[in-house]
Structure 1
Amino acid sequence: MELIDLTLIWVAIIGFGVFMYVLMDGFDLGVGILYPFARNEDHRDVMMNSVAPVWDGNETWLILGGAGLLAAFPLIYAVFLPALYIGVFLLLAGLIFRGVAFEFRFKSAPGKRGPWNWSFFLGSLVASFAQGAVVGAYIQGFEVEGFSYVGGPLDWLTPFTVMTGLGLVAGYTLLGATWLIMKTEGDLQDWAYRMARWMLGAVLAVYVIVSLWTAVAHPHILERWLENATVLWVFPTLSVLAGLWLWRGLTQRNEGTPFVATLVLFVLAYAGLLISMWPYAVPPEHTFWDASSSPDAQLFTLVGILFVVPIILAYTAWTYWVFRGKVRVGEGYH
């Protein structure tokens, strides 16, 4: 009998990596979604400069989660890639397209930045929607025989996954708006406050719709909720309180509170998702233990990952500390 469950350790590591990616890349994707609606090019310059020092470093967590998933849970790759190939392709294409637009916009003449502005917006929108749709596909499950995916290439795209995709777009947009509240000032900050109020309403509406839809369409998840109602009621209650805290921060024009409250909403939604789906790595049949690699392979890669994660955390903390404070009109690309 093993004294240490390496599978649980890897679930925690990959869950942490994915969670960090959602939080840290979420706000700069949200800024990209808001981008074409800003009033003028000066505001767009500030918006892009607010995420310029950190956006590419934020995506390090996506690489960490993806590489760790391949090493520790190869069955997930064997099912997810054929099942979600188009969705994952759209996600990566959106991120690449957005990165190209990011760099080329600053190299373009001031009057010729329109195409790159829209490229930045579309790349952010497609990447955000694809992430949400992939999460929805995970909730609805996969058609498998043994350890092989036997469904179609578009089974991931359903009305339910479209709703989860739009929900994550709304969530990232709220995160981007609250980031701008914290990082900007003047007219742009006033605009961000207004956008955040609208997006908070959209996020809470989608949260309720997806929860009810999940309960109706997936009886096994509803059964789990009912069996653990004495514990799970905490999450919707805390979500309501976090929403009220966020609204209060917006109405009182606090600068840091809205961003922190939005992060709390994401934490609660993420925790609720994990509890609802646990212990299935490939729902509705295969658990994380079914999907795991050999203990030797898990231990070998674990040694390396334990060195890498502290370095990423230290680099991330240092970057955010160096580039703390407000971003103003006229400040150049970092």
Structure 2
Amino acid sequence: MAGLPIDIAVLWAFIIAFAVFMYIVMDGFDLGLGMLFPMFPKKEDRDVMMNSIAPVWDGNETWLVLGGGGLMAAFPLAFAVVMPAIYTPIIAMLIGLIFRGVAFEFRWRTQSERNRWDVAFAGGSLLAALAQGVALGAILQGIHVEGRHYAGGWWDWLTPFSILTGCAVVAGYGLLGATWLVMKTTGELREHAYRLSWWLLVATLIAIVAVSLATPFLQADYWRRWFEWPNILFTAPIPIAVAAITLLLLKSLANKQDYRPFVLSLVLFAITYAGLGVSMFPYIVPQSITIWQAAAPANSLSFMLVGVAILVPIILAYTAWAYWVFRGKVDPSSGYH
């Protein structure tokens, strides 16, 4: 866009990327916890699991609103092109989030139908996680654009690659949920969460490798960016970092540490997210629309930046305060009712 300062457009891209990442890691562990519900059939265990996220789960979704709203305001062209391409998985995600939100409240209000609400909570969590991964794959594989409009079909989002990324996100969220339980619970529940963490880490690593091997074949630019010289000098540290964090994560699980597995799982997500940024930048719609082509006028970006500069620190502050107040292990005898 002529006359648009490059720095402010890129700054907004990083703001939105940060908001999306915060949503992924913060809502990811409670979606993962919901998906693990069938693995914990005891009512007492499920109550403790719910209580572990009760103080924070709804606040985590603040970042989803910021990411989606920021994309619409700062990059309206990208929003107008991307949304029609992924309407179906986005609607599925919202339906899943609604199911799990309603189930979270109603399971405490009834005894006779609690199992039904538990199924709704687990099913909604699975649907939301799977839909997010499918939407990611649909964007990463490329969107058919003609002029300034989406020109693809209704089912373009559904491909083997998008299903692969959907399964990868499900596995990754499951790992976050299991390591969260390791950090927040005690006794047999914690031991079972440890066992699940091993399996979910293996599934997550398989998914990371599969997606990493498939992505360069989607677009010629992806291949050049990751494997051609001298680009490989800058991209090689990412898989090396994934391997290093994996070894540390395996060690922390073997030593049955409380906090380190969850923290290292977050770091693993951050590294893979950085790899996604390496693949896409500077495109906001891969291989079709760049950050600068999609950006709103410079005056609008500057005006909104003032609001974000005030809003984001407030969100970070109250989020940090909530997690600090409710730190430590969950007391099975008390909690959300």
TM-score by length of 1: 0.97
- Seen in structure 2, the aligned counterparts of structure 1 residues 167 and 3 have a Cα distance that, compared at 3 Å, is closer
Report the Cα distance in structure 2 between the residues aligned to 1:305 and 1:290, rounded to whole angstroms.
22
Name the counterpart of 1:175. Answer: 176
* Structure 1 counterpart SS, 2:284: strand
The aligned amino acid for 1:186 is G
Name the counterpart of 2:333. Answer: 330
Match 2:313 to one of 303, 310, 314: 310
Name the counterpart of 1:42. Answer: 44
Point out where structure 1 has 5 or more consecutive residues left out of the alignment.
Answer: none
The aligned amino acid for 2:295 is S
The aligned amino acid for 1:66 is G
Report the Cα distance in structure 2 between the residues aligned to 1:13 and 1:65, rounded to whole angstroms.
8
Let me know the Cα RMSD of the aligned residues. Answer: 1.2
* Structure 2 counterpart SS, 1:153: coil
Name the counterpart of 2:110. Answer: 108
Name the counterpart of 1:130. Answer: 131
Cα deviations across residues 235-271 of structure 1 (Å, max 9, x unaligned)?
A: 1011011111111100100011100110111000000
Report the Cα distance in structure 2 between the residues aligned to 1:304 and 1:217, rounded to whole angstroms.
38
Match 1:86 to one of 73, 85, 88: 88
Cα deviations across residues 258-288 of structure 1 (Å, max 9, x unaligned)?
A: 0011011100000000011111111212101
* Structure 2 counterpart SS, 1:107: coil
Name the counterpart of 2:196. Answer: 195
Name the counterpart of 1:27. Answer: 29
* Structure 2 counterpart SS, 1:281: strand
Alignment of 1:120-159 (within 5 A): 120-159=121-160
* Structure 1 counterpart SS, 2:332: coil
Aligned-pair identity (%): 53
Moved over 3 A (4+): 1-4
Q: Does 1:276 align with 2:303?
A: no
Q: Does 1:295 align with 2:298?
A: yes
The aligned amino acid for 1:75 is L
* Structure 2 counterpart SS, 1:77: helix
Cα deviations across residues 124-168 of structure 1 (Å, max 9, x unaligned)?
A: 001001111111111101001011001112101111000000000
Name the counterpart of 2:260. Answer: 257
Point out where structure 2 has 5 or more consecutive residues left out of the alignment.
Answer: none
The aligned amino acid for 1:216 is F
Report the Cα distance in structure 1 between the residues aligned to 2:306 and 2:15, rounded to whole angstroms.
12
Match 1:63 to one of 39, 50, 65: 65
The aligned amino acid for 1:48 is M
Report the Cα distance in structure 2 between the residues aligned to 1:4 and 1:268, rounded to whole angstroms.
25
Cα deviations across residues 90-122 of structure 1 (Å, max 9, x unaligned)?
A: 11111111100000001112x431100000001
Name the counterpart of 2:7. Answer: 5
Report the Cα distance in structure 2 between the residues aligned to 1:84 and 1:2, rounded to whole angstroms.
28
Name the counterpart of 1:209. Answer: 210
Match 2:20 to one of 15, 18, 31: 18
* Structure 1 counterpart SS, 2:334: coil
Q: Does 1:285 align with 2:288?
A: yes
The aligned amino acid for 2:146 is E
How far did residue 216 of structure 1 move? 2.7
TM-score by length of 2: 0.96
Answer whether contact 2:182 2:194 (CA < 8 A) is retained. Answer: yes
Alignment of 1:210-249 (within 5 A): 210-227=211-228, 228-249=231-252
* Structure 1 counterpart SS, 2:36: helix
The aligned amino acid for 1:275 is V
How far did residue 2 of structure 1 move? 6.7
Alignment of 1:72-83 (within 5 A): 72-83=74-85
How far did residue 4 of structure 1 move? 6.8
How far did residue 198 of structure 1 move? 0.1
Cα deviations across residues 7-37 of structure 1 (Å, max 9, x unaligned)?
A: 0110111111111111111100000000121
